[in-house]
Chain A
Amino acid sequence: MSANLEKAFHNEPAAKIKSKKESSIYRFFANLFRSWTGTLGFIIILGLLFISIFGPWITPYDPLYADFSKKLLPPMTDGHLLGTDQLGRDILSRIIVGARVSVIIGVLTVVIAGIFGTVVGIISGYFRGWVDVVLMRIVDVQLSFPFILLVLVINAIIGAGLRNIIISLAIGGWVIFARMIRSEVLALREKEFITACVATGVSRFEILFRHILPNLFTPLIILASLQIGTFIIAEASVSFLGFGVQPPEPAWGNMLNEGKDYIFSSWWLITFPGIAIIIAALGVNLFGDWLRDTLDPELKGE
Chain B
Amino acid sequence: MLDFIIKRLLQVILVVFLALTAVFFLIRLSGDPTALFLPPDAPREQIEEYRELLGFNRPLQDQYADFMVNAVQGDFGESLRSQEDALQLVIDRLPATFQLAIAALILSLVIAIPLGVLSAYKRNSFFDRIGVGLTVLGQAVPNFWLGLILIFFFAAQLKLLPTGGGGTLVHLILPTITLATYSIARFTRFTRSSMLDILRKDYIRTAKASGVPTFPLVARFALKNSLIPIITLIALDLGTLLGGAVITEVVFAWPGIGRLLMQSLMNRDFPIVLAAVFIIALIYAIINFIADILYAYVNPQIRVK
Bound-complex Cα distance A141 to B27 (A): 19
**Could you tell me if B190 and A144 are in contact, using CB atoms closer than 8 angstroms?**
no
**Could you tell me if A256 and B144 are in contact, using CB atoms closer than 8 angstroms?**
yes
A119 to chain B, nearest CB (A): 20
Bound-complex Cα distance A145 to B265 (A): 17
**Could you tell me if B247 and A237 are in contact, using CB atoms closer than 8 angstroms?**
yes
Instruction: Please judge, given known A-B contacts A144-B288, A149-B280, A152-B265, whether A277 and B145 are in contact too, CB under 8 Å.
Output: yes
**Could you tell me if A145 and B19 are in contact, using CB atoms closer than 8 angstroms?**
yes
* B271 partner residues in chain A, CB cutoff 8 A: none
**B26 interface hit (Cβ, 8 Å):** yes
* A157 partner residues in chain B, CB cutoff 8 A: 23, 26-27, 30, 265
Bound-complex Cα distance A75 to B137 (A): 25
**A159 interface hit (Cβ, 8 Å):** yes
**B228 interface hit (Cβ, 8 Å):** no
8 Å CB contact of B30 from A37, A141, A159: A159
Bound-complex Cα distance A147 to B145 (A): 18
* A158 partner residues in chain B, CB cutoff 8 A: 26, 30
Which of B237-262 touch A at CB < 8 Å?
A: 239-240, 242-244, 246-247, 250-251, 261-262
**A156 interface hit (Cβ, 8 Å):** yes
**Could you tell me if B189 and A285 are in contact, using CB atoms closer than 8 angstroms?**
no
**Could you tell me if A146 and B242 are in contact, using CB atoms closer than 8 angstroms?**
yes
**Could you tell me if A153 and B148 are in contact, using CB atoms closer than 8 angstroms?**
no
* A243 partner residues in chain B, CB cutoff 8 A: 265
Q: How many A-B residue pairs have CB under 8 A?
A: 122
**A198 interface hit (Cβ, 8 Å):** no
8 Å CB contact of B148 from A148, A241, A274, A285: A274
Instruction: Please judge, given known A-B contacts A153-B265, A242-B266, A263-B156, whether A145 and B281 are in contact too, CB under 8 Å.
Output: yes
Q: Which residue of A lies closest to B28 (CB)?
A: A157
8 Å CB contact of B239 from A146, A159, A237, A301: A146
Bound-complex Cα distance A148 to B280 (A): 12
Q: Which residue of B lies closest to A230 (CB)?
A: B139
Bound-complex Cα distance A145 to B151 (A): 29
Interface residues on B, range: 35 or more
Instruction: Please judge, given known A-B contacts A152-B246, A263-B152, A301-B196, whether A144 and B145 are in contact too, CB under 8 Å.
Output: no
**Could you tell me if A141 and B148 are in contact, using CB atoms closer than 8 angstroms?**
no
* B69 partner residues in chain A, CB cutoff 8 A: none
**A154 interface hit (Cβ, 8 Å):** yes
**B273 interface hit (Cβ, 8 Å):** yes
Q: Interface digits, A218-255 against B, CB 8 Å rule (1 contact, 0 not)?
A: 00000000000100010011001111000000000000
Instruction: Please judge, given known A-B contacts A157-B27, A240-B144, whether A270 and B288 are in contact too, CB under 8 Å.
Output: no
8 Å CB contact of A302 from B149, B193, B277: B193
Bound-complex Cα distance A267 to B59 (A): 52
Q: Which residue of B lies closest to A146 (CB)?
A: B243
- Interface stretch of the complex, out of B10-18, B73-81, B107-115: B10-18
**B187 interface hit (Cβ, 8 Å):** no
Which of B123-156 touch A at CB < 8 Å?
A: 136-137, 139-142, 144-145, 148-149, 151-152, 156
**Could you tell me if A141 and B151 are in contact, using CB atoms closer than 8 angstroms?**
no
**Could you tell me if A141 and B19 are in contact, using CB atoms closer than 8 angstroms?**
yes
**Could you tell me if A154 and B26 are in contact, using CB atoms closer than 8 angstroms?**
yes
Bound-complex Cα distance A153 to B26 (A): 10
**A104 interface hit (Cβ, 8 Å):** no
Q: Which residue of B lies closest to A154 (CB)?
A: B26
**Could you tell me if A145 and B193 are in contact, using CB atoms closer than 8 angstroms?**
no
**A281 interface hit (Cβ, 8 Å):** yes
Which of B144-181 touch A at CB < 8 Å?
A: 144-145, 148-149, 151-152, 156, 163
* A64 partner residues in chain B, CB cutoff 8 A: none
Bound-complex Cα distance A82 to B239 (A): 37
**A189 interface hit (Cβ, 8 Å):** no
**A260 interface hit (Cβ, 8 Å):** yes
**B86 interface hit (Cβ, 8 Å):** no
Bound-complex Cα distance A272 to B152 (A): 14
A26 to chain B, nearest CB (A): 28
**Could you tell me if A282 and B140 are in contact, using CB atoms closer than 8 angstroms?**
yes
B196 to chain A, nearest CB (A): 7
**B275 interface hit (Cβ, 8 Å):** no
Which of A2-30 touch B at CB < 8 Å?
A: none
B246 to chain A, nearest CB (A): 6
**B285 interface hit (Cβ, 8 Å):** yes
Instruction: Please judge, given known A-B contacts A154-B26, A302-B189, whether A278 and B141 are in contact too, CB under 8 Å.
Output: yes
**Could you tell me if A241 and B145 are in contact, using CB atoms closer than 8 angstroms?**
no
**A169 interface hit (Cβ, 8 Å):** no
**Can you list 5 contacts pairing A with B, beta carbon distance less than 8 Å?**
A137-B14, A144-B15, A148-B246, A241-B262, A302-B193
Interface residues of A (CB under 8 A from B): 37, 137-138, 140-141, 144-149, 152-154, 156-159, 229, 233, 236-237, 240-243, 256, 260, 263-264, 267, 270-271, 274, 277-278, 281-282, 285-286, 289, 301-302
With contacts A148-B246, A267-B152 known, what are 15 further pairs, Cβ within 8 A?
A144-B15, A144-B288, A147-B243, A148-B243, A153-B273, A156-B266, A157-B27, A237-B142, A237-B247, A256-B148, A263-B156, A277-B142, A278-B137, A285-B140, A286-B136
8 tightest A-B contacts by CB? A146-B243, A156-B265, A274-B145, A281-B140, A282-B140, A302-B193, A148-B243, A144-B15
